[in-house]
Amino acid sequence: MYELQLSKALAVEGLSENDIFDALEKPKESKMGDICLPCFKFARTMRIAPPMIANKLQPYVAGLDFVERAEVAGGYLNIFFDRNFMAKNLEASLALGENVGKSDEGAGKTICIDYSSVNIAKPFHIGHLSTTVIGGALYRIFEHLGYRVVGINHLGDWGTQFGKLIVATCKWSSLEEVASKDEYFLNSLYVRYHREVEEHPEMDDEARAWFKRIEDGDSEATAYFNVFKDVTMRAVGKVYDRLRIKFDSYAGESFYNDKMDACLDILKAKNLLVESEGAQVVKLDDYNMPPCLLVKADGATLYATRDIAAVYYRKQTYDFDKCLYVVAYQQNLHFKQLFQVLKLMDFAGADDMEHIAFGMVSMEDGAMSTRSGRVIWLQDVLDKAVEKALKIIEEKNPDSKDKLAIAESVGVGAVVFSALWNNRIKDIVFSFDKVLNFDGETAPYVQYTYARCASALRKGGEPDLCNMDLAAITDDEGYEVIKSVLSFCDSVRQAGKLREPCYVTRHVVDLAEKFNRFYIGHRIVVEDAAVRNARLLLTKSVANVIKTGLSLLGISAPEEM
């Protein structure tokens, strides 16, 4: 708790706030303080022995209002919090209810977040899980921190796949049939196309011709395009609803068809566009990057061209302070090139662009490929997780009335949580058993703890905030819970600052663990009114933080499990 304040206070002697934040630790025993700072890591840069560093830093914390005392022990600075101060803070936290952790640090600032950005007429597969849920979590976290957030789904709704699909539809189906069927059917046409084109390469010429007709606005081709888009969006929308994801804009690649020329003009005026084998590129040799291809020899524009147009449009429309792209690390080069080109163009927001990269998700049993058809659809993963959750709930709580709704919440929550547990950049190997383990670092574990709190509050009745006497909490387990409740706001801020939702994910698990330790050792609803009220208040504060934390992550918290 108070990590951010401590990090600020200790950012002295050449140490940065982040150095301190990352180094702060929970001591193994409570006699070593509520939080401690091991100073060993700093010895190299500061060129003095760790105990000397601890000594040097001690005066900087001793004066903070929430600090009772700070002791140097070897290379450690052990910090003890003032319990009266904590009690006051807990009161304030309880008064916030589910607004706990909110702040106004972002007031007056706008953040655009480009996330999910699925490709139309291609499957919404497990590979899109991370961008969708990390983007959704960042959206809510920034909102919680007071920013105006604009969520943008930069749909991949342009490209030769549309031509291919028209060829496939004409050959093996019809517009009416595709319109009446689902995304799986559409994908089967795509897969068949790629199988048959091996033997009939002329199909690719046909596909190119069809795509050209779409580009030219031909009405027949456009009718196909619209049907493909409708079928995909219907399917994708269902997944978004389940994942609690929303967008403020669905302006996809095709939206920029008429907005690229203006950008190309700027590039030309600045002499940045050069011809290379008939194509137009921006040279980036000076920055150790291959050229950024913007117009092909046949006049077709590219992904990067649309991205440049999109940036200008976003700046003009939303006047963003930051523009974030939640996109897999495979596109590192694309974004480095894009940001460099924007700098060369003297684009006003060039320094406010950020690529929020993340690792890959693979299934325990291997990878996937769209073309061969061995695709793992996100919808199927959610269905399977819900089905498995239902089985577990039927065993644990056969009398529950809302089994289906609870299973949906637990199953989907488990999948979402798994993509938000680690630092973004880590690759994930997805396993149903792991994410649904009720005793692991999982959504069900946290949801179960919330339901446990809710049940205690039903039994004990609403606690009386006006009569809070935290002196009735005398044990360390209780204080560990209070500390975790109070430091929730730090984790939300840190999550925003580093664009890492995992700080929130880790926090709710940590709090659940601490509460469960308290719960096992103490009855909540006891005879003594003061003790009962204090324990109920503690329980209530835990419920608030877990519910809010999960909801920032896009996960619901059933009242019963």
Would you tell me which residues interact with ligand ARG (CB under 6 A)? 114, 117, 119, 154, 156, 307, 310, 325, 327
Q: What gap in Å lies between CA 84 and CA 77, rounded to an integer?
A: 22
Nearest CB to ligand ARG, comparing residues 224 and 339: 339
Nearest CB to ligand ARG, comparing residues 124 and 430: 124
Nearest CB to ligand ARG, comparing residues 425 and 465: 425
Contacts of residue 461, defined as CB under 8 A and 6 or more positions apart, other chains included, come to: 536
Nearest CB to ligand ARG, comparing residues 154 and 507: 154
DSSP conformational letter for 118: P
In the complex, least distance from residue 331 CB atom to ligand ARG, rounded to whole angstroms:
7
Nearest CB to ligand ARG, comparing residues 114 and 352: 114
In the complex, least distance from residue 216 CB atom to ligand ARG, rounded to whole angstroms:
23
Q: What gap in Å lies between CA 517 and CA 393, rounded to an integer?
A: 23
Burial class (CB in 10 A: 0-12, 13-18, 19+), 217: exposed
The SS3 call for residue 68 is strand
Nearest CB to ligand ARG, comparing residues 114 and 490: 114
In the complex, least distance from residue 117 CB atom to ligand ARG, rounded to whole angstroms:
4
In the complex, least distance from residue 119 CB atom to ligand ARG, rounded to whole angstroms:
5
Nearest CB to ligand ARG, comparing residues 114 and 500: 114
In the complex, least distance from residue 279 CB atom to ligand ARG, rounded to whole angstroms:
20
The SS3 call for residue 173 is coil
Contacts of residue 304, defined as CB under 8 A and 6 or more positions apart, other chains included, come to: 292, 293, 294, 334, 337, 338, 341
In the complex, least distance from residue 156 CB atom to ligand ARG, rounded to whole angstroms:
3
Nearest CB to ligand ARG, comparing residues 120 and 546: 120
Identify each DSSP E strand in 240-381 by its residue range.
Answer: 273-276, 279-282, 292-295, 322-326, 353-356, 361-363
Answer yes or no: are the C-beta atoms of 77 and 52 closer than 8 Å.
Answer: no
Nearest CB to ligand ARG, comparing residues 232 and 494: 232
Q: Which amino acid, residue 219? A: S
Nearest alpha-carbon partner for 114 in 346, 310, 329, 397: 310
DSSP H stretches of helix in 173-294: 175-180, 183-196, 202-215, 219-243, 260-269
Nearest alpha-carbon partner for 340 in 272, 284, 275: 284
Answer yes or no: are the C-beta atoms of 148 and 111 closer than 8 Å.
Answer: yes
Nearest CB to ligand ARG, comparing residues 325 and 519: 325
In the complex, least distance from residue 93 CB atom to ligand ARG, rounded to whole angstroms:
38
Nearest CB to ligand ARG, comparing residues 42 and 320: 320
Distance of alpha carbon 375 from its chain centroid, rounded? 23
Nearest CB to ligand ARG, comparing residues 75 and 252: 252
In the complex, least distance from residue 111 CB atom to ligand ARG, rounded to whole angstroms:
15
Q: What gap in Å lies between CA 138 and CA 416, rounded to an integer?
A: 13
The SS3 call for residue 307 is helix
Give long-range contacts, CB 8 A cutoff, 24+ apart: 342-348: 342/308, 342/311, 344/270, 344/272, 344/282, 345/263, 345/266, 345/267, 345/270, 345/272, 345/308, 346/270, 347/311, 347/312, 347/315, 348/315
DSSP conformational letter for 291: -
